Amino acid sequence: MGGSPEIRSFKGISEFATSPEKVSDYISPLLNFAAEHVPRAKHKETPLYILCTAGMRILPESQQKAILEDLLTDIPVHFDFLFSDSHAEVISGKQEGVYAWIGINFVLGRFEHIEDDDEAVVEVNIPGSESSKAILRKRTAGILDMGGVSTQIAYEVPKTVSFASSQQEEVAKNLLAEFNLGCDVHQTEHVYRVYVATFLGFGGNAARQRYEDRIFASTVQKNRLLGRQTGLTPDTPYLDPCLPLDIKDEIQQNGQTLYLRGTGAFDLCRETIQPFMNKTNETQTSLNGVYQPPIHFQNSEFYGFSEFYYCTEDVLRMGGDYSAAAFTRAAKDYCATKWSILRERFDRGLYASHADLHRLKYQCFKSAWMFEVFHRGFSFPVNYKNLKTALQVYDKEVQWTLGAILYRTRFLPLRDIQQETFRASHAHWRGFSFVYNHYLFSGCFLVVLLAILLYLLRLRRIHRRAPRSGSATTVWLEDGLPSQKIASTL
């Protein structure tokens, strides 16, 4: 759908919280686009899913319900897609993380069986069967995704995790998702336990807002006190180490204005924002003190999306394989460069085509924020070599929606641990798959019928060659196959 300018300009349906009756009309161009590209004869067999994320999650439940009700009522009137009540819902951050994890590992081919001896493999204890022998399979990749509002991490936890306390174990259960991506023959080889954690307020834009709120509250009060003592005015700018050198900016709140001037000090910026990680002194915790299972840094691989990619590529032009040393050098240099020079480079088109002035202004802050989240928040060592920042993988834009399609359409025979929930919410699928099963049954029936006919012809030929005085058992033995074995092959 990326080719249509109209579709590119869509905003989230959460914008219609106060006018839910307009939602189905608003997204009709998307559905019309799909209807034009899916053969008309296949519409009734094509499932349609509308899955809502963070924007809808923050709305009151009543507003969520009203929006979904409008979709469920109006769409079936105008379109013939397979669209049931369970196909429109607000998904949790945990579901979104699982879908993103499935998407990247599917594109990377990590769900395929091992073929070459030199492939990266990992020893896995299947959840729920720790007493069984561990198996070897392809090593999966973890994901890091930093948007404007939230940051997310998801990775496989292949071995049994030990917990410091029962309370920690209970918290961990809410952050672990277990599911089966295996086929009938290899089910147990593809049971995955994935840790997923979402941190609201830790996205790039939300973090900057929290940072500005803090310095505004503390600086305005400080300026008032200093003004009484020294005669300085509140117009004295705050020296912000997280803005490029000599840039001028301002924060406006409650009718008051705080002026900022950038000093471009990357290391000081990192030090200033460290308290915003909300780390605790407890072991095995990450941002906000949330539990995080151990990561085998020497035997792991991660992909960073969204802000992890934008921070490294849009301005610094070093997306791909991440190096903490190279990144910090480039970020320091950028922050310490005068704003007038950065603007000149921008005007000359030296940055990525989609980099704008907002990116230039907050690149210094977001670089420091990404670095601190990755190394301090998630505790990745500064010499970690297996992070790749990416927008596309194998020329495919990898988002959580890819994993959702795979999961929801059962493109892979995915089996969620909560089988009863799946059966209840996907009862329609049995009807949808009946056509496929019908053809499969017919094919099997024809094969069996052909085998019977061949057997009867063979029996007739043998009977003609058999001596009249011979018994049935003699006939079978003359042909070299005992009678009981013939029976067992039917």
* Angle, alpha carbons 78-80-83 (nearest 5°): 100
Cβ neighbours of residue 302 under 8 Å, at least 6 residues apart? 141, 142, 143, 144, 155, 386, 387, 388
Residue with tokens 């017919």: 442
Q: Is position 282 annotated as part of the catalytic site? A: no
Exposure string for 316-348, b = 16+ CB within 10 A, e = fewer: bebbeebbbeebbebbbebbebebeebeeebee
Cβ neighbours of residue 301 under 8 Å, at least 6 residues apart? 120, 139, 141, 142, 386, 388
Exactly one of 61, 96, 250, 344 is catalytic; which is it? 96
- In degrees and rounded to multiples of 5, residue 158 shows phi and psi of -75, -25
DSSP summary character for residue 235 = T
User: Has 142 been labeled as part of a binding site?
Assistant: no
User: Has 399 been labeled as part of a binding site?
Assistant: no
Cα–Cα distance, 276 to 287 (Å, whole number): 9
Residue type present at position 231: G
User: Has 256 been labeled as part of a binding site?
Assistant: no
- Token pair of 54 as six digits: 């963070």
Cα–Cα distance, 263 to 246 (Å, whole number): 6
| 213, 215, 218, 220 alpha-carbon torsion, rounded to 10° | -90
User: Has 152 been labeled as part of a binding site?
Assistant: yes
Residue type present at position 401: T
User: Has 323 been labeled as part of a binding site?
Assistant: no
Q: Which residues are annotated as a binding site for ATP?
A: 148-152
- Active site members: 96
Q: Which residues are annotated as a binding site?
A: 148-152
